[in-house]
Amino acid sequence: MTHSALTPNRTAVITGGASGIGFATAERLVALGLNVCIADQDEEKLSSAADTLARQSARGADAILVAPVDVARLESVQALRDAVLDRFGEVAVLMNNAGTRGGGTPWEHYEGWQRALSVNLWGVINGLQVFTQGMIDQGTPCAIINTGSKQGITNPPGDAAYNVSKAGIKSLTESLAHQLRLIDGCRVTAHLLIPGFTYTGLTKRFAQEKPPGAWMPEQVADHLLAAMDRGDFYVLCPDNDVTPEIDHRRIEWAAGDMTENRPALSRWHPDYEGVFADFMSKKED
Q: 243: which DSSP letter? A: -
Query: What's the distance, Cα to Cα, between the start and end of the chain in Å?
Result: 31
Phi and psi at 18, nearest 5°, equal: -85, -10
Query: Under a CB-based contact definition with an 8 Å cutoff, are residues 228 and 253 in contact?
Result: no
- Three-state DSSP at 185 gives coil
Cα–Cα separations (whole angstroms), residue 185 to 129, 188, 223: 20, 9, 28
Q: Where are the beta strands (DSSP E) in 45-163?
A: 64-68, 93-96, 142-147
Torsion angles phi and psi, residue 269, rounded to 5:
-90, 130
| Contact in structure between 64 and 36 (CB atoms under 8 Å) | yes
Q: CA 133, 225, 59 angle in degrees (round to 5)? A: 80
Give the single-character DSSP code of 104: -
The one catalytic residue among 162, 199, 234, 272: 162
Q: Find out whether 102 and 116 touch, Cβ atoms under 8 Å.
A: yes
CB 21 within 8 A of CB 198: yes
Q: What's the CA gap between 262 and 269, in Å, rounded?
A: 10
Burial label for 88, CB within 10 Å (0-12, 13-18, 19+), is buried
Residue 110: active-site member: no
Q: Which residues are catalytic?
A: 162
